[in-house]
Structure 1
Amino acid sequence: MRVNWDILKLSVLILCVIGLYGFSDYRSNQREVEEISVNFLGDNDLFIDEASVNKLLIQNYGSVKNRTKEQLVLNTIEKVIQSNDMVKKAQIYFTVDGKLVSKIVQRKPIGRIEGASKFYLDDVGKRMPLSKHHSARVPIITGKITGKTLEDAYTILNYINADDFLRKNVIGIHVEEEGNYQLRFRMENFVVNLGGVDNLNEKFKNFMAFYAKATKDNSLEKYAVVSLEFNNQVVCTKI
Protein backbone atom coordinates (compact mmCIF):
# COMPACT_ATOMS: atom_id res chain seq x y z
CA MET A 1 0.00 0.00 0.00
CA ARG A 2 1.36 3.35 -0.98
CA VAL A 3 1.69 5.84 1.84
CA ASN A 4 0.56 9.41 1.15
CA TRP A 5 3.36 11.26 2.94
CA ASP A 6 1.77 14.68 2.48
CA ILE A 7 -1.39 13.61 4.34
CA LEU A 8 0.69 11.92 7.03
CA LYS A 9 2.84 15.02 7.54
CA LEU A 10 -0.25 17.22 7.71
CA SER A 11 -1.88 14.92 10.27
CA VAL A 12 1.24 14.93 12.45
CA LEU A 13 1.43 18.73 12.18
CA ILE A 14 -2.21 19.08 13.24
CA LEU A 15 -1.68 16.75 16.22
CA CYS A 16 1.38 18.75 17.26
CA VAL A 17 -0.53 22.04 17.04
CA ILE A 18 -3.42 20.59 19.08
CA GLY A 19 -0.98 19.26 21.65
CA LEU A 20 0.88 22.55 21.94
CA TYR A 21 -2.38 24.46 22.22
CA GLY A 22 -3.64 22.08 24.93
CA PHE A 23 -0.38 22.36 26.84
CA SER A 24 -0.37 26.14 26.53
CA ASP A 25 -3.99 26.33 27.68
CA TYR A 26 -3.21 24.07 30.64
CA ARG A 27 -0.21 26.19 31.64
CA SER A 28 -2.31 29.34 31.30
CA ASN A 29 -5.09 27.94 33.50
CA GLN A 30 -2.55 26.92 36.13
CA ARG A 31 -1.03 30.38 36.25
CA GLU A 32 -1.87 32.30 39.40
CA VAL A 33 -3.43 35.76 39.40
CA GLU A 34 -0.56 38.10 40.25
CA GLU A 35 -2.36 41.43 40.16
CA ILE A 36 -5.90 42.82 40.27
CA SER A 37 -6.69 45.94 38.28
CA VAL A 38 -9.94 47.87 38.92
CA ASN A 39 -10.87 50.44 36.26
CA PHE A 40 -13.86 52.78 36.49
CA LEU A 41 -15.20 53.89 33.12
CA GLY A 42 -16.88 57.23 32.49
CA ASP A 43 -17.07 59.93 35.17
CA ASN A 44 -14.21 60.39 37.62
CA ASP A 45 -16.58 60.94 40.52
CA LEU A 46 -16.49 57.60 42.31
CA PHE A 47 -19.48 56.38 44.31
CA ILE A 48 -17.56 53.17 45.02
CA ASP A 49 -13.77 52.90 45.23
CA GLU A 50 -11.24 50.17 44.46
CA ALA A 51 -10.95 49.15 48.10
CA SER A 52 -14.71 48.63 48.29
CA VAL A 53 -14.61 46.43 45.17
CA ASN A 54 -11.84 44.26 46.61
CA LYS A 55 -13.67 43.99 49.94
CA LEU A 56 -16.85 43.01 48.11
CA LEU A 57 -15.01 40.21 46.28
CA ILE A 58 -13.44 38.86 49.47
CA GLN A 59 -16.75 38.89 51.35
CA ASN A 60 -18.72 37.17 48.60
CA TYR A 61 -16.16 35.18 46.63
CA GLY A 62 -13.04 34.88 48.74
CA SER A 63 -9.52 35.98 47.93
CA VAL A 64 -8.84 36.23 44.19
CA LYS A 65 -5.13 36.98 44.21
CA ASN A 66 -2.74 33.99 44.00
CA ARG A 67 -5.52 31.66 42.85
CA THR A 68 -5.20 29.93 39.47
CA LYS A 69 -7.30 30.99 36.51
CA GLU A 70 -9.16 27.68 36.41
CA GLN A 71 -10.30 28.25 39.98
CA LEU A 72 -11.96 31.53 39.06
CA VAL A 73 -15.31 31.84 37.26
CA LEU A 74 -15.42 35.21 35.56
CA ASN A 75 -19.22 35.33 35.26
CA THR A 76 -19.52 34.76 38.99
CA ILE A 77 -17.04 37.53 39.77
CA GLU A 78 -18.96 39.90 37.48
CA LYS A 79 -22.21 39.09 39.29
CA VAL A 80 -20.57 39.72 42.67
CA ILE A 81 -19.40 43.19 41.59
CA GLN A 82 -22.71 44.00 39.92
CA SER A 83 -24.51 43.15 43.15
CA ASN A 84 -23.26 46.44 44.59
CA ASP A 85 -25.92 49.16 44.46
CA MET A 86 -23.48 51.65 42.92
CA VAL A 87 -22.52 49.43 39.97
CA LYS A 88 -24.40 49.40 36.68
CA LYS A 89 -22.20 46.96 34.75
CA ALA A 90 -18.94 45.06 35.22
CA GLN A 91 -16.69 43.27 32.73
CA ILE A 92 -13.97 40.90 34.00
CA TYR A 93 -11.14 39.32 31.97
CA PHE A 94 -7.60 37.96 32.24
CA THR A 95 -4.54 39.42 30.52
CA VAL A 96 -1.73 37.28 29.16
CA ASP A 97 0.60 38.42 31.95
CA GLY A 98 -1.62 37.05 34.73
CA LYS A 99 -3.53 40.21 35.62
CA LEU A 100 -7.24 40.10 36.47
CA VAL A 101 -8.86 43.24 35.05
CA SER A 102 -12.27 44.58 36.01
CA LYS A 103 -13.92 47.39 34.07
CA ILE A 104 -16.78 48.95 36.01
CA VAL A 105 -19.53 51.32 34.89
CA GLN A 106 -21.17 53.10 37.80
CA ARG A 107 -24.81 54.02 38.02
CA LYS A 108 -25.53 57.67 37.22
CA PRO A 109 -27.72 59.74 39.57
CA ILE A 110 -29.79 62.55 38.04
CA GLY A 111 -31.73 63.69 41.12
CA ARG A 112 -31.48 63.49 44.89
CA ILE A 113 -34.53 62.87 47.07
CA GLU A 114 -34.59 64.70 50.39
CA GLY A 115 -37.44 63.47 52.55
CA ALA A 116 -38.20 60.89 55.20
CA SER A 117 -35.74 58.71 53.30
CA LYS A 118 -32.81 60.05 51.29
CA PHE A 119 -31.59 58.51 48.05
CA TYR A 120 -30.74 59.25 44.43
CA LEU A 121 -32.88 58.74 41.37
CA ASP A 122 -30.67 57.27 38.63
CA ASP A 123 -30.73 57.72 34.86
CA VAL A 124 -33.09 54.77 34.34
CA GLY A 125 -35.56 55.94 36.98
CA LYS A 126 -34.54 53.58 39.78
CA ARG A 127 -33.66 54.33 43.40
CA MET A 128 -29.95 54.51 44.15
CA PRO A 129 -28.50 54.83 47.67
CA LEU A 130 -26.32 57.74 48.71
CA SER A 131 -22.57 57.16 48.72
CA LYS A 132 -20.09 57.84 51.51
CA HIS A 133 -17.41 58.48 48.88
CA HIS A 134 -19.02 61.18 46.76
CA SER A 135 -22.05 63.48 46.75
CA ALA A 136 -23.47 64.15 43.28
CA ARG A 137 -24.37 67.69 42.27
CA VAL A 138 -27.87 67.04 40.97
CA PRO A 139 -31.28 68.72 41.47
CA ILE A 140 -32.85 68.16 44.89
CA ILE A 141 -36.35 66.66 44.93
CA THR A 142 -38.52 67.56 47.93
CA GLY A 143 -42.18 67.45 48.94
CA LYS A 144 -44.71 64.64 48.65
CA ILE A 145 -42.65 61.73 47.38
CA THR A 146 -44.64 58.77 46.05
CA GLY A 147 -44.11 56.20 43.33
CA LYS A 148 -46.06 58.33 40.83
CA THR A 149 -44.41 61.64 41.72
CA LEU A 150 -40.99 59.98 41.37
CA GLU A 151 -41.97 58.80 37.88
CA ASP A 152 -43.00 62.35 37.01
CA ALA A 153 -39.81 63.78 38.53
CA TYR A 154 -37.82 61.36 36.37
CA THR A 155 -39.65 62.63 33.27
CA ILE A 156 -38.91 66.25 34.22
CA LEU A 157 -35.25 65.52 34.97
CA ASN A 158 -34.78 63.78 31.62
CA TYR A 159 -36.14 66.85 29.85
CA ILE A 160 -33.95 69.17 31.93
CA ASN A 161 -30.80 67.13 31.25
CA ALA A 162 -31.43 67.27 27.50
CA ASP A 163 -31.25 71.08 27.57
CA ASP A 164 -27.95 72.79 28.34
CA PHE A 165 -29.48 75.90 29.95
CA LEU A 166 -31.93 73.98 32.14
CA ARG A 167 -29.31 71.41 33.17
CA LYS A 168 -26.99 74.17 34.43
CA ASN A 169 -29.67 76.26 36.16
CA VAL A 170 -32.42 74.04 37.62
CA ILE A 171 -31.34 73.04 41.14
CA GLY A 172 -34.55 71.61 42.57
CA ILE A 173 -38.00 70.11 42.02
CA HIS A 174 -40.62 70.50 44.73
CA VAL A 175 -43.64 68.22 44.69
CA GLU A 176 -46.70 70.12 45.93
CA GLU A 177 -48.88 67.15 45.06
CA GLU A 178 -49.27 64.68 42.22
CA GLY A 179 -49.52 66.69 39.00
CA ASN A 180 -48.24 69.90 40.57
CA TYR A 181 -44.48 70.43 40.37
CA GLN A 182 -42.40 73.49 41.14
CA LEU A 183 -38.90 74.23 39.83
CA ARG A 184 -36.18 76.19 41.60
CA PHE A 185 -33.40 77.95 39.69
CA ARG A 186 -29.79 78.53 40.70
CA MET A 187 -29.49 82.30 40.19
CA GLU A 188 -33.10 83.48 40.36
CA ASN A 189 -35.38 84.30 43.28
CA PHE A 190 -38.58 83.23 41.56
CA VAL A 191 -39.98 79.70 41.42
CA VAL A 192 -41.56 78.13 38.36
CA ASN A 193 -44.91 76.40 38.73
CA LEU A 194 -44.74 73.71 36.09
CA GLY A 195 -48.04 72.00 36.79
CA GLY A 196 -48.01 68.42 35.47
CA VAL A 197 -45.64 66.69 33.09
CA ASP A 198 -47.90 67.12 30.08
CA ASN A 199 -46.75 69.33 27.17
CA LEU A 200 -43.29 69.90 28.64
CA ASN A 201 -41.86 70.99 25.32
CA GLU A 202 -44.47 73.74 24.89
CA LYS A 203 -44.19 74.85 28.52
CA PHE A 204 -40.43 75.23 28.44
CA LYS A 205 -40.54 76.87 25.03
CA ASN A 206 -42.83 79.53 26.50
CA PHE A 207 -40.62 79.84 29.57
CA MET A 208 -37.45 80.37 27.51
CA ALA A 209 -39.19 83.10 25.51
CA PHE A 210 -40.26 84.80 28.78
CA TYR A 211 -36.80 84.40 30.29
CA ALA A 212 -35.04 85.92 27.28
CA LYS A 213 -37.36 88.96 27.26
CA ALA A 214 -37.22 89.47 31.05
CA THR A 215 -33.42 89.23 30.97
CA LYS A 216 -33.27 91.85 28.24
CA ASP A 217 -35.63 94.11 30.23
CA ASN A 218 -33.74 93.50 33.51
CA SER A 219 -37.04 92.54 35.13
CA LEU A 220 -36.36 89.01 36.40
CA GLU A 221 -35.90 90.17 39.99
CA LYS A 222 -39.44 91.59 40.01
CA TYR A 223 -41.12 88.17 39.93
CA ALA A 224 -41.85 85.77 42.77
CA VAL A 225 -43.71 83.09 40.79
CA VAL A 226 -43.65 82.18 37.11
CA SER A 227 -46.48 79.82 36.18
CA LEU A 228 -46.46 77.56 33.12
CA GLU A 229 -49.62 75.70 34.08
CA PHE A 230 -51.87 77.43 31.59
CA ASN A 231 -51.96 76.64 27.88
CA ASN A 232 -49.71 78.72 25.64
CA GLN A 233 -49.01 81.44 28.19
CA VAL A 234 -46.76 82.40 31.06
CA VAL A 235 -48.47 83.94 34.08
CA CYS A 236 -46.21 85.86 36.46
CA THR A 237 -46.75 87.03 40.04
CA LYS A 238 -44.67 90.03 41.08
CA ILE A 239 -42.96 90.36 44.43
Structure 2
Amino acid sequence: MTIIGCGFISLLVAANSKEQQHKCKEVSISIIGTGEKYYIGKTDISEILKAGTNDRLINRPLTQINLARLESLLEDNPWIKDAELYFDSRSVLHVIVTERQPIARVFAKNGNSFYIDSSGLRMPLLKKVSARVPVFTNFVAAKKMSAKDSILLNEIKQIAVFLDKETFWNSQIAQVDIMEDRKFELIPVIGSHIIRIGKAEFIDQKLRRLLVFYKQVLSKTGIDKYSVLDLQYEGQVVAIQKGAFSSVDSVQLKKNIAELLKTGQLMHLNDSLQQASLRSIAQRVDSTSINYAATIESEEDSGSTHHDINPVLKKEPVKTKIKTPSVEDKKVKTSEPKKEIKRPKAVMPKRG
Protein backbone atom coordinates (compact mmCIF):
# COMPACT_ATOMS: atom_id res chain seq x y z
CA MET A 1 0.00 0.00 0.00
CA THR A 2 1.37 3.37 -1.00
CA ILE A 3 1.78 6.32 1.28
CA ILE A 4 -1.03 8.16 -0.58
CA GLY A 5 -3.43 5.25 -0.06
CA CYS A 6 -2.68 5.08 3.64
CA GLY A 7 -3.23 8.82 3.96
CA PHE A 8 -6.62 8.62 2.22
CA ILE A 9 -7.82 5.85 4.53
CA SER A 10 -6.70 7.84 7.53
CA LEU A 11 -8.74 10.83 6.37
CA LEU A 12 -11.88 8.69 5.97
CA VAL A 13 -11.49 7.25 9.44
CA ALA A 14 -10.94 10.69 10.92
CA ALA A 15 -13.99 12.12 9.10
CA ASN A 16 -16.17 9.24 10.27
CA SER A 17 -14.92 9.66 13.83
CA LYS A 18 -15.70 13.37 13.71
CA GLU A 19 -19.20 12.67 12.40
CA GLN A 20 -19.79 10.30 15.27
CA GLN A 21 -18.87 13.09 17.65
CA HIS A 22 -21.68 15.35 16.30
CA LYS A 23 -24.52 15.19 18.78
CA CYS A 24 -27.87 16.92 19.10
CA LYS A 25 -27.18 20.00 21.16
CA GLU A 26 -30.61 21.60 21.23
CA VAL A 27 -34.21 21.27 20.00
CA SER A 28 -36.05 24.28 18.56
CA ILE A 29 -39.83 23.86 18.17
CA SER A 30 -42.01 26.15 16.03
CA ILE A 31 -45.79 25.87 15.65
CA ILE A 32 -47.65 27.29 12.66
CA GLY A 33 -51.34 28.04 13.12
CA THR A 34 -53.90 30.32 11.50
CA GLY A 35 -56.27 30.84 14.41
CA GLU A 36 -56.23 33.05 17.50
CA LYS A 37 -54.83 30.29 19.69
CA TYR A 38 -52.63 27.22 19.49
CA TYR A 39 -54.25 23.85 20.07
CA ILE A 40 -50.97 21.92 20.25
CA GLY A 41 -48.32 23.07 22.73
CA LYS A 42 -44.55 22.71 22.61
CA THR A 43 -44.77 20.42 25.61
CA ASP A 44 -47.02 18.04 23.66
CA ILE A 45 -44.54 17.97 20.79
CA SER A 46 -41.58 17.39 23.12
CA GLU A 47 -43.34 14.40 24.68
CA ILE A 48 -43.89 12.83 21.26
CA LEU A 49 -40.21 13.36 20.38
CA LYS A 50 -39.06 11.84 23.67
CA ALA A 51 -41.32 8.84 23.16
CA GLY A 52 -39.76 8.30 19.72
CA THR A 53 -36.18 8.46 21.02
CA ASN A 54 -36.56 6.66 24.36
CA ASP A 55 -36.29 10.00 26.16
CA ARG A 56 -32.79 10.48 24.80
CA LEU A 57 -32.58 13.23 22.21
CA ILE A 58 -30.14 15.80 23.58
CA ASN A 59 -26.49 14.68 23.26
CA ARG A 60 -27.52 11.78 21.07
CA PRO A 61 -25.36 11.24 17.94
CA LEU A 62 -27.02 12.65 14.84
CA THR A 63 -26.55 9.38 13.01
CA GLN A 64 -28.78 7.65 15.56
CA ILE A 65 -31.73 10.01 15.12
CA ASN A 66 -34.25 8.96 12.46
CA LEU A 67 -35.86 12.23 11.38
CA ALA A 68 -38.37 10.59 9.00
CA ARG A 69 -39.67 8.37 11.78
CA LEU A 70 -40.07 11.31 14.15
CA GLU A 71 -41.99 13.25 11.49
CA SER A 72 -44.32 10.29 11.04
CA LEU A 73 -44.91 10.03 14.80
CA LEU A 74 -45.82 13.71 15.00
CA GLU A 75 -48.21 13.49 12.05
CA ASP A 76 -49.99 10.57 13.69
CA ASN A 77 -51.45 13.13 16.08
CA PRO A 78 -54.84 14.15 14.58
CA TRP A 79 -54.24 17.79 15.54
CA ILE A 80 -50.96 17.97 13.57
CA LYS A 81 -51.33 18.51 9.83
CA ASP A 82 -47.65 18.51 8.87
CA ALA A 83 -44.22 18.15 10.53
CA GLU A 84 -40.74 18.96 9.21
CA LEU A 85 -37.48 18.17 11.05
CA TYR A 86 -33.89 19.05 10.15
CA PHE A 87 -30.48 19.76 11.73
CA ASP A 88 -28.61 22.98 11.10
CA SER A 89 -24.83 23.42 10.98
CA ARG A 90 -24.70 23.84 14.77
CA SER A 91 -26.36 20.45 15.39
CA VAL A 92 -29.61 22.08 16.50
CA LEU A 93 -32.73 20.06 15.69
CA HIS A 94 -35.46 22.26 14.21
CA VAL A 95 -39.03 20.97 14.53
CA ILE A 96 -41.67 22.86 12.51
CA VAL A 97 -45.25 21.73 13.12
CA THR A 98 -48.35 22.93 11.26
CA GLU A 99 -51.48 22.31 13.29
CA ARG A 100 -55.00 21.67 12.05
CA GLN A 101 -57.65 24.34 12.50
CA PRO A 102 -61.09 23.24 13.76
CA ILE A 103 -64.04 24.75 11.90
CA ALA A 104 -66.93 22.96 13.66
CA ARG A 105 -67.79 20.92 16.71
CA VAL A 106 -70.13 18.00 16.08
CA PHE A 107 -72.30 16.47 18.81
CA ALA A 108 -73.58 12.93 18.32
CA LYS A 109 -76.95 11.72 19.61
CA ASN A 110 -75.22 9.79 22.42
CA GLY A 111 -73.63 12.98 23.79
CA ASN A 112 -70.11 12.44 22.45
CA SER A 113 -68.53 15.20 20.39
CA PHE A 114 -65.54 15.91 18.17
CA TYR A 115 -64.08 18.65 15.99
CA ILE A 116 -63.57 18.63 12.23
CA ASP A 117 -61.17 20.66 10.10
CA SER A 118 -61.60 22.00 6.56
CA SER A 119 -60.77 18.58 5.09
CA GLY A 120 -63.48 16.88 7.17
CA LEU A 121 -60.99 15.04 9.40
CA ARG A 122 -62.35 14.18 12.84
CA MET A 123 -60.29 15.46 15.78
CA PRO A 124 -60.79 14.62 19.47
CA LEU A 125 -61.53 17.20 22.14
CA LEU A 126 -58.62 18.85 23.92
CA LYS A 127 -58.29 18.97 27.69
CA LYS A 128 -56.63 22.37 27.99
CA VAL A 129 -58.34 24.46 25.34
CA SER A 130 -61.63 24.64 23.47
CA ALA A 131 -62.36 26.15 20.08
CA ARG A 132 -65.07 28.74 19.44
CA VAL A 133 -66.65 27.27 16.33
CA PRO A 134 -70.21 26.59 15.09
CA VAL A 135 -71.92 23.65 16.80
CA PHE A 136 -73.71 20.86 14.91
CA THR A 137 -76.12 18.61 16.82
CA ASN A 138 -77.82 15.20 16.33
CA PHE A 139 -75.06 13.49 14.36
CA VAL A 140 -75.17 9.69 14.15
CA ALA A 141 -73.75 7.86 17.16
CA ALA A 142 -72.53 4.75 15.31
CA LYS A 143 -68.86 3.86 15.86
CA LYS A 144 -68.45 2.90 12.21
CA MET A 145 -69.93 5.36 9.74
CA SER A 146 -71.96 4.16 6.77
CA ALA A 147 -71.82 5.67 3.29
CA LYS A 148 -74.81 7.88 4.16
CA ASP A 149 -73.07 9.02 7.34
CA SER A 150 -69.99 9.98 5.34
CA ILE A 151 -72.15 12.03 2.96
CA LEU A 152 -73.75 13.75 5.95
CA LEU A 153 -70.35 14.56 7.45
CA ASN A 154 -69.28 16.01 4.10
CA GLU A 155 -72.36 18.27 4.12
CA ILE A 156 -71.44 19.39 7.64
CA LYS A 157 -67.99 20.24 6.33
CA GLN A 158 -69.54 22.27 3.46
CA ILE A 159 -71.62 24.38 5.82
CA ALA A 160 -68.77 24.78 8.33
CA VAL A 161 -66.29 25.87 5.63
CA PHE A 162 -68.75 28.51 4.41
CA LEU A 163 -69.38 29.83 7.93
CA ASP A 164 -65.64 29.89 8.62
CA LYS A 165 -65.01 32.11 5.57
CA GLU A 166 -67.97 34.47 6.08
CA THR A 167 -67.38 36.73 9.09
CA PHE A 168 -70.99 37.89 9.41
CA TRP A 169 -72.55 34.42 9.28
CA ASN A 170 -69.87 33.03 11.57
CA SER A 171 -71.01 35.58 14.16
CA GLN A 172 -74.74 35.23 13.48
CA ILE A 173 -75.11 31.41 13.41
CA ALA A 174 -74.76 29.84 16.85
CA GLN A 175 -75.90 26.29 16.15
CA VAL A 176 -76.82 23.97 13.29
CA ASP A 177 -79.33 21.20 13.98
CA ILE A 178 -79.40 18.01 11.91
CA MET A 179 -83.01 16.90 11.43
CA GLU A 180 -84.31 13.34 11.13
CA ASP A 181 -84.48 13.64 7.33
CA ARG A 182 -80.79 14.72 7.35
CA LYS A 183 -81.61 18.28 6.43
CA PHE A 184 -80.27 21.29 8.32
CA GLU A 185 -81.76 24.10 10.40
CA LEU A 186 -79.71 27.08 11.57
CA ILE A 187 -80.19 28.76 14.95
CA PRO A 188 -79.16 32.46 14.84
CA VAL A 189 -77.58 34.53 17.60
CA ILE A 190 -79.92 37.47 16.97
CA GLY A 191 -83.59 36.63 16.50
CA SER A 192 -85.79 33.79 17.71
CA HIS A 193 -86.54 32.41 14.24
CA ILE A 194 -85.35 29.14 12.70
CA ILE A 195 -83.53 29.17 9.35
CA ARG A 196 -84.30 26.12 7.22
CA ILE A 197 -81.72 25.50 4.52
CA GLY A 198 -82.50 21.87 3.65
CA LYS A 199 -79.42 20.24 2.15
CA ALA A 200 -76.01 21.89 2.23
CA GLU A 201 -75.86 22.45 -1.52
CA PHE A 202 -75.94 26.08 -2.69
CA ILE A 203 -75.44 27.26 0.89
CA ASP A 204 -73.83 30.48 -0.37
CA GLN A 205 -76.81 31.39 -2.56
CA LYS A 206 -79.32 30.54 0.16
CA LEU A 207 -77.68 32.71 2.79
CA ARG A 208 -77.16 35.51 0.31
CA ARG A 209 -80.93 35.60 -0.20
CA LEU A 210 -81.37 35.61 3.56
CA LEU A 211 -79.02 38.59 3.89
CA VAL A 212 -81.20 40.45 1.39
CA PHE A 213 -84.24 39.55 3.50
CA TYR A 214 -82.50 40.75 6.67
CA LYS A 215 -81.60 44.10 5.15
CA GLN A 216 -84.79 44.93 3.27
CA VAL A 217 -87.54 43.18 5.22
CA LEU A 218 -86.53 42.44 8.81
CA SER A 219 -85.05 45.91 9.19
CA LYS A 220 -88.62 47.20 8.79
CA THR A 221 -90.76 44.52 10.41
CA GLY A 222 -88.41 43.50 13.23
CA ILE A 223 -86.18 40.45 13.43
CA ASP A 224 -88.48 38.58 15.83
CA LYS A 225 -91.62 38.85 13.72
CA TYR A 226 -91.20 35.45 12.04
CA SER A 227 -90.83 31.99 13.50
CA VAL A 228 -89.39 30.31 10.39
CA LEU A 229 -87.39 31.55 7.41
CA ASP A 230 -87.31 28.81 4.77
CA LEU A 231 -84.55 28.98 2.13
CA GLN A 232 -85.17 25.61 0.47
CA TYR A 233 -86.99 27.05 -2.54
CA GLU A 234 -84.86 28.41 -5.36
CA GLY A 235 -84.76 32.19 -5.49
CA GLN A 236 -87.14 32.60 -2.56
CA VAL A 237 -87.33 33.24 1.16
CA VAL A 238 -90.54 31.90 2.68
CA ALA A 239 -91.29 33.70 5.95
CA ILE A 240 -93.82 32.33 8.42
CA GLN A 241 -95.15 34.90 10.86
CA LYS A 242 -95.48 33.96 14.51
CA GLY A 243 -97.63 36.80 15.86
CA ALA A 244 -97.77 40.46 16.76
CA PHE A 245 -94.54 42.32 17.40
CA SER A 246 -94.65 44.86 20.19
CA SER A 247 -92.91 48.23 20.25
CA VAL A 248 -91.18 47.20 23.49
CA ASP A 249 -89.59 44.26 21.68
CA SER A 250 -88.50 46.56 18.86
CA VAL A 251 -86.69 48.86 21.29
CA GLN A 252 -84.80 45.94 22.82
CA LEU A 253 -84.02 44.62 19.34
CA LYS A 254 -82.41 47.89 18.31
CA LYS A 255 -80.36 47.94 21.52
CA ASN A 256 -79.11 44.38 20.89
CA ILE A 257 -78.17 45.15 17.30
CA ALA A 258 -76.44 48.37 18.33
CA GLU A 259 -74.24 46.43 20.76
CA LEU A 260 -73.21 44.00 18.03
CA LEU A 261 -72.56 46.84 15.61
CA LYS A 262 -70.11 48.33 18.13
CA THR A 263 -68.09 45.13 18.04
CA GLY A 264 -68.10 45.12 14.25
CA GLN A 265 -69.94 41.83 13.99
CA LEU A 266 -72.89 43.18 11.97
CA MET A 267 -71.32 45.91 9.86
CA HIS A 268 -73.02 44.50 6.77
CA LEU A 269 -76.41 45.46 8.21
CA ASN A 270 -75.42 48.80 9.72
CA ASP A 271 -76.96 51.09 7.10
CA SER A 272 -80.32 49.40 6.77
CA LEU A 273 -80.90 48.57 10.43
CA GLN A 274 -79.94 52.00 11.74
CA GLN A 275 -82.45 53.62 9.39
CA ALA A 276 -85.36 51.50 10.57
CA SER A 277 -87.75 53.52 12.74
CA LEU A 278 -89.64 52.11 15.69
CA ARG A 279 -92.86 52.71 13.84
CA SER A 280 -91.79 50.63 10.86
CA ILE A 281 -90.37 47.92 13.10
CA ALA A 282 -93.67 47.61 14.92
CA GLN A 283 -95.65 47.58 11.68
CA ARG A 284 -98.03 44.65 11.43
CA VAL A 285 -98.35 42.37 8.44
CA ASP A 286 -101.79 40.88 7.97
CA SER A 287 -100.76 37.70 6.15
CA THR A 288 -99.51 34.70 8.11
CA SER A 289 -97.18 33.46 5.37
CA ILE A 290 -95.30 35.77 3.01
CA ASN A 291 -93.35 34.65 -0.04
CA TYR A 292 -90.47 36.81 -1.27
CA ALA A 293 -88.36 36.37 -4.39
CA ALA A 294 -84.85 37.84 -4.47
CA THR A 295 -83.79 39.17 -7.86
CA ILE A 296 -80.02 38.75 -7.96
CA GLU A 297 -78.08 39.20 -11.18
CA SER A 298 -75.39 36.56 -11.68
CA GLU A 299 -71.79 37.41 -12.55
CA GLU A 300 -72.16 35.71 -15.93
CA ASP A 301 -75.17 37.86 -16.83
CA SER A 302 -73.69 41.11 -15.61
CA GLY A 303 -70.24 40.52 -17.04
CA SER A 304 -68.70 41.70 -13.78
CA THR A 305 -66.91 39.86 -11.03
CA HIS A 306 -68.07 42.40 -8.43
CA HIS A 307 -70.58 41.01 -5.96
CA ASP A 308 -73.67 43.13 -5.45
CA ILE A 309 -73.88 43.73 -1.73
CA ASN A 310 -77.31 45.33 -2.07
CA PRO A 311 -79.32 43.06 -4.38
CA VAL A 312 -82.91 44.05 -5.02
CA LEU A 313 -85.65 42.22 -3.21
CA LYS A 314 -88.85 42.05 -5.21
CA LYS A 315 -92.04 41.27 -3.38
CA GLU A 316 -94.42 39.08 -5.31
CA PRO A 317 -97.71 40.79 -6.09
CA VAL A 318 -100.35 40.12 -3.50
CA LYS A 319 -103.45 38.59 -4.96
CA THR A 320 -106.38 40.49 -3.62
CA LYS A 321 -109.85 39.06 -4.04
CA ILE A 322 -112.20 41.65 -5.38
CA LYS A 323 -115.84 40.97 -4.63
CA THR A 324 -117.82 40.64 -7.82
CA PRO A 325 -121.32 42.07 -7.54
CA SER A 326 -124.10 39.53 -7.78
CA VAL A 327 -126.84 39.52 -10.35
CA GLU A 328 -129.22 41.03 -7.83
CA ASP A 329 -126.67 43.78 -7.09
CA LYS A 330 -126.39 44.57 -10.77
CA LYS A 331 -130.14 44.97 -11.16
CA VAL A 332 -131.19 48.56 -10.72
CA LYS A 333 -134.80 48.99 -9.80
CA THR A 334 -136.35 51.86 -11.72
CA SER A 335 -139.94 52.89 -11.35
CA GLU A 336 -141.34 55.29 -13.95
CA PRO A 337 -144.73 56.89 -13.28
CA LYS A 338 -147.45 55.44 -15.49
CA LYS A 339 -148.80 57.84 -18.06
CA GLU A 340 -152.45 58.64 -17.58
CA ILE A 341 -154.55 57.42 -20.51
CA LYS A 342 -156.98 60.06 -21.57
CA ARG A 343 -160.27 58.54 -22.56
CA PRO A 344 -162.79 60.55 -24.66
CA LYS A 345 -165.80 61.82 -22.70
CA ALA A 346 -169.30 61.40 -24.01
CA VAL A 347 -171.05 64.72 -24.75
CA MET A 348 -174.82 64.70 -24.23
CA PRO A 349 -176.93 66.95 -26.49
CA LYS A 350 -178.74 69.80 -24.79
CA ARG A 351 -182.47 69.54 -24.37
CA GLY A 352 -184.44 72.21 -25.93
Show CA shifts across 1:27-81 (max 9, x none). 3563111211111012452222111211122223322111011111211111111
> Aligned partners of 1:108 and 1:58: how far apart in 2?
25
Tell whether 2:26 aligns with 1:38: no
Tell whether 2:108 aligns with 1:105: no
Tell whether 2:148 aligns with 1:148: no
In structure 2, give the amino acid aligned to 1:203: K
State which of 48, 66, 76 in structure 2 corresponds to 1:73.
66
Q: Percent identity?
A: 24
Aligned residues: 222
Show CA shifts across 1:69-106 (max 9, x none). 11112111111111112111001011222211101011
Show CA shifts across 1:109-141 (max 9, x none). 110012222100111011111111211110001
Tell whether 2:134 aligns with 1:139: yes
Q: Secondary structure at the match of 2:224?
A: helix
> Aligned partners of 1:107 and 1:154: how far apart in 2?
14
Show CA shifts across 1:164-207 (max 9, x none). 32123222211003441011222232221111123323312211
8 A contact 2:39–2:129 mirrored in 1: yes
State which of 35, 41, 46 in structure 2 corresponds to 1:54.
46
In structure 1, give the amino acid aligned to 2:120: G
Structure of larger gyration radius: 2
Tell whether 2:190 aligns with 1:195: no
> Aligned partners of 1:97 and 1:178: how far apart in 2?
61
In structure 2, give the amino acid aligned to 1:83: D
Cα-Cα RMSD = 2.4
> Aligned partners of 1:202 and 1:143: how far apart in 2?
25
Gaps of 5+ in 2: 141-148, 243-352
- Alignment correspondent of 1:213: 216
8 A contact 1:61–1:80 mirrored in 2: no
- Alignment correspondent of 1:233: 236
TM-score between the two structures when normalised by the length of structure 2 = 0.58
- Alignment correspondent of 2:296: none
Q: Secondary structure at the match of 1:167?
A: helix
User: How far does residue 108 in structure 1 lie from its aligned partner after superposition?
Assistant: 1.3
> Aligned partners of 1:133 and 1:97: how far apart in 2?
35
Gaps of 5+ in 1: 1-11
